[in-house]
Amino acid sequence: MASGEVKVLGTWASQFAMRPRIALNIKSVDYEFIEEKNLLEEKSQLLLQSNPVHKKVPVLFHGDNKPICESLIIVQYIDETWSSGPPILPSDPYDRATARFWAAYLDDKWYPAVKSLGIAEGEEAKKTAMAQVEEGVALMEEAFGKCSKGKGFFGGDEIGFLDIAFGSFLGWLRVVEKFNGAKLIDEAKTPGLADWAERFCSHAAVKDVMPDADKLAEFAMIVVAKIKGLGLAAQSL
């Protein structure tokens, strides 16, 4: 079963690093959080050795196992390894497929649009990126209605896989709203998500790992400046 020390390598600001931490909290598993200090400019030896393919956080270390990479894969590993704790993935295969479909949509289609919005130059570029981001949020509002089946989370009564996948973006979403003077999740446009967001952020498994919005906004300005300055592609985020 599950034996051995658990460590998560990540950063305080990374929405991806937040995901395994939420999962471990749900399962009441103690872990050590190792902060990667200078992700953009100088990656640590530990990171380069444990994730040579992508050189990205998060990385999970569990006992004697070799490191596990990719945030949602780590979440699934945590769910399967500590199977006696509260379940993270839904039990029905079709519900699991739905959760995975939306998680893939968020990471592969929606988040790149959020990133482009962050570094977009000029009104046209901003408008295009914003439209894509808004479309995604509208789809998630609809998905919330179907997945939650009247309950408080995508996972039903309790936080599940899709809550973690989408909820981890909430901090950065608030930063995007602030910088663009826009409201993406609010009572008027997305009532389901507005309530869900509050519920998610105040959940015991989430509140200590969700970064403070102002701190994140400050950090975002530094990151965007660095990305533009270093001429890095948005992929490096």
Partner 1 sequence: MMDLASHDWRGMNLRFMKREIYQTLDQAISPIMAVVKLLGTWLSPYSCKVIWALKLKGIPYEYIEEDLSNKSPMLLQYNPVHKKIPVLVHDGKPICESTVILRYIEETWPQNPLLPIDPYERAVALFWIKYADDKNPLIPKLYRTTGEELEQAAKECSEILGTIEEHGLIEGKKFFGGDEINMVDIAFCIVAHWLGVFEEVAGIKVFEPHKFPKLNSWAQNFKSVPVIKENLPDADKIFAVLKRRRETLLAPKSN
User: Judged by CB, which is closer to partner 1: 80, or 187?
Assistant: 80
Give counts: helices (H), strands (E), the chain.
10, 4
CA angle (166 as vertex; 37, 76 as ends), nearest 5: 80
User: Judged by CB, which is closer to partner 1: 96, or 199?
Assistant: 96
User: Judged by CB, which is closer to partner 1: 52, or 145?
Assistant: 52
CB atoms within 10 A of CB 218: 12
Joined together, the tokens standing for residue 58 give 């998060």
- Annotate each residue in 138-177 with x if it binds partner 1 (CB under 8 A) or - if it does not, as one string: -x--------------------------------------
5 binds partner 1 per the rule CB under 8 A: no
Residue 6: strand pairing partners:
62
Helix (H, G, I), strand (E, B) or coil at 32: strand
Candidates 35, 48, 97, 215; binder of partner 1 (CB under 8 A) is: 97
User: Judged by CB, which is closer to partner 1: 38, or 235?
Assistant: 235
204 binds partner 1 per the rule CB under 8 A: no
Crossing angle for the helix pair 123-148 and 93-105, to the nearest 10 degrees: 170
Joined together, the tokens standing for residue 95 give 């519900």
* Residue 156 DSSP symbol: B
User: Judged by CB, which is closer to partner 1: 74, or 175?
Assistant: 74
Smallest separation (angstroms) from partner 1 to the CB of 191? 21
Distance CA 102, CA 37 (A): 31
Candidates 43, 46, 55, 105; binder of partner 1 (CB under 8 A) is: 105
Smallest separation (angstroms) from partner 1 to the CB of 8? 14
CA dihedral 26, 29, 31, 35 (to 10 degrees): -10
Residues near partner 1 (CB under 8 A)? 52-53, 62, 65-66, 68-70, 73-74, 76-77, 80-81, 93-94, 96-97, 100-101, 104-105, 139
